[in-house]
A and B are shown apart, each in its own frame.
Chain A
Amino acid sequence: MELPYVVVIILFYLGIYTIIMNKNLIKIVVGVNIVESSLILLLILISFKLGGTAPILDRKYELVVDPIPQALALTAIVIGGSLIAVMLALVIKIYKRYGTLNVDEIRKLRG
């Protein structure tokens, strides 16, 4: 078992724990971001080959890392960034409406 995969697991469940345990909406958004980072790290790990070069074939090469997960990682980064932006806009809206960021208090106010 390689160590980097363990780091992916730790990061992923650190993010999940943050999402579940925190009451603050901003911290929940940060948790989602941590989960997303762990998944990008996993994509890069899957494409990695020991001794491989970057998939830019401008000179002699022997071993090239897998280019497909890198392209997918770019997709994941773009979509994750848009997602975080939309979530933060929603959080701003909620704060203006209820005057608090605490999940429990918002639930109480809604009745």
Chain B
Amino acid sequence: MRRIYILALILILASLLFFTFYDLLHPTEFETDKTQISDYYIEHGVKETGAINLVTAILFDYRAFDTLGEATVIFIAVSAISLLATKERVLVSNTNFSPIVYQGISFIIPFLYILAFYLIFYGHLSPGGGFTGGVVIATTFVLLKMTFGIRYSREEKSLQRRSLIESCGAIGFIIVGILGIVRGDSFLANGQAGFDLGVAGQLLSAGIIPILNLFTGIKVGSGLAIIFHRLVREE
């Protein structure tokens, strides 16, 4: 009986959402064009930021403060999980894989690092960026832990080192932001603060965007590695 009530409620709500979308897709004549700001970004974005990837230009220039908040969310998640997870000994996966798995993972790890740093350093030229590259870095930690077990990454010491690296990423991001104030403009200012934007489309261009990408990548990679390390523990 309860199931029928809930289904009816959900159907009513779904039809409401349907009509909302219908209105959204068929705007009346009174509603103005809502895409002015994205037109502005498309027209002036490359000239103002020096990055040809507009998503990165928005993330690390126009809305860089937002991105700092995003990195803070990951930091808070890492802190919460470290607080919640138990501090007992770990016995993760005593399973033995075939030699092919060990050799294959050992072979693939350096290439994954190259891919990660390619994604980070070309973040302002091609799809990718700090967050994506950081996730790939974290993937290497996950792979190592799944195949070789925890004992290969010496427990607490490596964890401390990783949280130190994460803090370095966050502090670097903030210091780059304060440089904008020091040079006489707002927090996280890029072109306005007189940083050299270079020629759009080259590797060394776009002012502070590649540096912010690097710090974000370091922070996200070490943060996600800590999260996995904390969640994977058993009794």
Complex-state Cα separation, A6 to B55, whole angstroms = 27
B10 at the interface (CB under 8 A from A): yes
Chain A 67-92 interface 0/1 with B at a Cβ cutoff of 8 Å (1 = within): 11011001101110011011011101
B187 at the interface (CB under 8 A from A): no
Q: Are B70 and A79 in contact (CB under 8 A)?
A: yes
Could you say which of B72-80, B142-150, B168-176 contacts chain A? B72-80
Interface residues on B, range: 35 or more
Could you say which of B93-101, B106-114, B123-131, B204-212 contacts chain A? B123-131
Report if A66-B131 is in contact (Cβ < 8 Å); known contacts: A1-B21, A58-B125. no
Chain B residues within an 8 Å CB radius of A82: 73-74, 76-77
Complex-state Cα separation, A75 to B69, whole angstroms = 10
Pick the residue among A10, A71, A90 that contacts B84 (CB under 8 A).
A90
Residue of B nearest to A46 (CB): B24
Q: Are A5 and B25 in contact (CB under 8 A)?
A: yes
B162 at the interface (CB under 8 A from A): no
Report if A54-B127 is in contact (Cβ < 8 Å); known contacts: A12-B17, A88-B231. yes
Chain A residues within an 8 Å CB radius of B85: 89, 92
A29 at the interface (CB under 8 A from B): no
A109 at the interface (CB under 8 A from B): no
Complex-state Cα separation, A83 to B131, whole angstroms = 16
Report if A9-B14 is in contact (Cβ < 8 Å); known contacts: A82-B73, A83-B77. yes
Pick the residue among A6, A67, A71 that contacts B18 (CB under 8 A).
A6
Residue of A nearest to B46 (CB): A57
Q: Are B73 and A67 in contact (CB under 8 A)?
A: no
Could you say which of B36-44, B153-161, B178-186, B191-199 contacts chain A? B36-44
B54 at the interface (CB under 8 A from A): yes
A60 at the interface (CB under 8 A from B): no
Q: Are A71 and B55 in contact (CB under 8 A)?
A: yes
Q: Are A21 and B6 in contact (CB under 8 A)?
A: yes
Chain A residues within an 8 Å CB radius of B58: 67-68, 71
Chain B residues within an 8 Å CB radius of A13: 10, 13-14, 17
Complex-state Cα separation, A30 to B125, whole angstroms = 35
Complex-state Cα separation, A78 to B131, whole angstroms = 8
Complex-state Cα separation, A17 to B4, whole angstroms = 12
Could you list which residues of chain B lie within 8 angstroms of chain A, going by C-beta atoms? 3, 6-7, 10, 13-14, 17-18, 21-22, 25, 35, 37-38, 41-42, 45-46, 52-55, 57-59, 63, 66-67, 70, 73-74, 76-77, 80-81, 84-86, 125-127, 131, 201, 220, 227, 230-231
Please give 10 more A-B residue pairs, beta carbons under 8 A apart, in addition to A9-B14, A56-B52, A57-B46. A5-B25, A12-B14, A13-B13, A20-B10, A56-B126, A68-B58, A75-B67, A82-B73, A82-B77, A96-B86
